[in-house]
Chains A and B, each alone.
Chain A
Amino acid sequence: MKAEPLNVEENEVLQEVINIGMGQAGASLAKLFDVFVNLSVPRVSWVNDADFIDQVEKLVEGHGSSWAGVRQAFYNQLEGEAFAIYGAAGCQQLAGLIGYVDGDNGAEEELLLDVTNILVGACLVGVAKQIGKKLDFVAPTLVGMGKPISDLLYKRDREWDQCLLIEVNFCLEEGDFSCHLVTLMSEASIEQLRSGLIDFMESY
């Protein structure tokens, strides 16, 4: 069974709900690091499994060739996997901002995990709360650092056909830290998402 993709109106609501979730994530980052976060308009699109890697590559094209990837699974009424992609410069920028010691790999990895946890947490919890759905998280894990995008994503059959591609960029005012966020959700979750979005729409 394949989930019906969201229609234009549902997508528009989703976009706004993500926009709000992203605002909350930005505020969390700002609070924690005491910096101003420039938010961009999030881009939301649906892609087929087959196009997934191509789309992600397009997303980061021209922004460098070396990336770090962190994955974090979520479960409950909404279930799926979030994938955060960081550029090499961004990682260093962030480490400098937090004052991690140079060359301490464990600390840099831990920082990426922490930041992913905060961004994914704030963003998706924000979405779930607005549409009244439950969501829990598994600890994030590092997929790789200093690698081309294609090495970070597996080209094997995924269980879920529909991927929700959320392009979110967080830029710190004093540096070019940016992060791309990609989310995959199960078919059942897409139905949950739809019902939640419809409820949210009708609350106005």
Chain B
Amino acid sequence: MSVALLIVDDSGFSRKAMLKSIPEGWDVDITQAANGEEALAALRKGLGEVVLLDLTMPVLDGFGVLEGIRDEGLEAKVVVVSADIQPKAKFRVMSLGALGFLQKPFNKESLAAILAECGVYSEG
């Protein structure tokens, strides 16, 4: 059965890069969101079992999305994909319930590794 994957990033390029880097064997239904509000709306519709979440975004940032997930009791496995690489940023998202933290720029290998580490998907 395919997994509902939500990709959240304000940069269209960044979303494209994530799309291209998703493991080929992974059966996913993909939804895209360009900011935190859009992401929460998709999550409420059950479109994000797994979320690849950017942090620095307009309207509502990634921290806000994590808080929304927590406050509304939404079910989502979140992997943060961020250019904000401060240790404190990582600590914050992990304490807000994110499963993993992937540093930008990423590639196929680093994305696959973090997905495996979070137990979301592993190849072979």
List the interface of chain A (C-beta within 8 A of B): 9, 12-13, 15-16, 19-20, 22-24, 26-27, 30, 36-37, 39-41, 130, 201, 203-204
Q: Beyond the given A16-B14, A41-B58, please list 4 additional residue pairs across the A-B interface where CB-CB is below 8 A.
A: A16-B11, A16-B13, A27-B86, A204-B16
Give the number of residue pairs across the A-B interface with Cβ within 8 Å.
58
Whether A39 touches B105, Cβ cut-off 8 Å, given contacts A12-B11, A23-B83, is: no
Contact sample, A vs B, 28 pairs, CB 8 Å cutoff? A12-B12, A13-B13, A16-B11, A16-B17, A19-B14, A19-B83, A19-B104, A20-B105, A22-B83, A23-B56, A23-B82, A23-B83, A23-B84, A23-B104, A24-B85, A26-B84, A26-B86, A27-B85, A30-B86, A30-B87, A30-B88, A36-B86, A37-B86, A39-B56, A41-B57, A201-B13, A204-B17, A204-B20
| Complex Cα–Cα for A103 and B83 (A) | 37
Asked if A41 meets B13 with Cβ closer than 8 Å, knowing A19-B83, A23-B85, A26-B84, the reply is: no
Q: How far is the CA of A39 from the CA of B105 in the complex (A)?
A: 17
- CB proximity of A14 to chain B, nearest CB, Å: 9
Which A residue's beta carbon lies closest to that of B61? A41
Closest to B91 in A: A36
Asked, given contacts A15-B11, A19-B56, whether A130 binds B86 with beta carbons under 8 Å apart, the answer is no
Distance between Cα atoms of A23 and B86 in the complex (Å) = 8
Smallest CB–CB gap between A37 and chain B, Å? 7
The docked-state distance in angstroms from the alpha carbon of A27 to that of B101 is 15
Complexed CA–CA distance, A38 and B31 (Å): 28
Contacts of B89 in A (CB 8 A): 36
Collect the chain A residues with CB atoms within 8 Å of residue B85's CB: 23-24, 26-27
Q: Is the CB of B10 within 8 A of A41?
A: yes
Is B56 a contact partner of A9 (Cβ separation < 8 A)?
no
User: Which residues of chain A are within 8 angstroms of B86 by Cβ–Cβ distance?
Assistant: 26-27, 30, 36-37
Closest to B58 in A: A41
Given contacts A39-B56, A40-B56, A130-B105, contact A9 B13 (CB under 8 A): yes
Instruction: List the A side residues contacting B87 at CB < 8 Å.
Output: 30
Q: Which residues of B contact A22 (CB under 8 A)?
A: 83
List residues of chain B with CB within 8 A of the CB of A204.
16-17, 20-21, 107
Residue of A at shortest CB range from B92? Answer: A36
CB nearest neighbor in A for B16: A204
**Bound CA span A203–B107, Å:** 9
CA distance A9 to B11 in the complex (A): 11
* Distance in angstroms between the alpha carbons of A16 and B11 in the assembled complex: 7
